[in-house]
Amino acid sequence: MMGFKLKLSLLPEILAICQLPKDARVPHWALAGMFFSVTRTAEELSVVCPQTNVPEGIKKDEGWRCLKVEGPLDFSTTGILASLTMPLAKEGISVFAVSTYNTDYLLVKKQHLRKAVQILAQNGHQIQEAAQSSKFRVRSKKDR
C-alpha cells in the first residue's frame, strides 16, 4: 500500500484520552510521562497522557498503546497515516492519531495491539519495542 515501509516503536506507557472543558487550564497531571499531548479547540481541551496520571472524575477513555513512527518525516510526504490506518480499518481496528512537527503517533486500544502490529507487519512495516516497553514480540511466518 502506497509503497511506505515505515519503522515504528511501541512506547511503554498505557495511555488515556481525556476531555476537559474548552476553558479549562492545562492540568499538571497532563504534563508528566514520556508521552503526552494537549490540544485546545473551540469545543474542548483534549489530553493524551499516561492513564495512571489521570485523577478520578475526569472524562476519559483508557487502555491505549502508542506506536511512534520513526522520523523525522518530511512535510511534503503524503499518505503516511493512510498507509498505517487503512489496513487497520479494513480489519475493524480503530485508531487515535497524534501528529507532531517531526512524526506521527498511532494509538490503538491495548486489546487490539497484537492484531494491529501483525497487520502492520504484514503490510511491510517494522515494529519494535521502545526502551522500557513491556515484553512484546511480533512473530513472523518464519517463527511459526
CATH number at residue 85: 3.30.2130.10
Cα separation, 120 vs 67, in Å, equals 11
What is the rounded average pLDDT for all residues in the chain? 89
Q: With cut-offs at 50, 70 and 90, classify the pLDDT of residue 141.
A: very low
- Cell of residue 90, nine digits: 479494513
Q: Do the domain assignments include residue 88? A: yes
pTM: 0.84
Which domain range does residue 128 map to? 7-143
Amino acid at 22: K
Residue 139 pLDDT greater than 70, yes or no: no
Tell me the C-alpha to C-alpha distance, in Å, between residue 56 and each of 18, 31, 48, 59, 111: 11, 17, 15, 9, 23
* Residue range 25-61, pLDDT digits in tens: 999 999 999 999 999 999 999 999 999 999 999 999 9
Q: With cut-offs at 50, 70 and 90, classify the pLDDT of residue 3.
A: low
Q: Do the domain assignments include residue 73? A: yes
Q: Do the domain assignments include residue 103? A: yes
Q: Do the domain assignments include residue 119? A: yes
Stretch 62-75: mean pLDDT: 92
Residue 129 pLDDT greater than 90, yes or no: no
Stretch 137-143: mean pLDDT: 40
Structural domains of the chain, count: 1
* Residue range 81-106, pLDDT digits in tens: 999 999 999 999 999 999 999 999 99
Cα separation, 120 vs 61, in Å, equals 24
- Cell of residue 121, nine digits: 507487519
Q: Do the domain assignments include residue 41? A: yes
Q: Do the domain assignments include residue 2? A: no
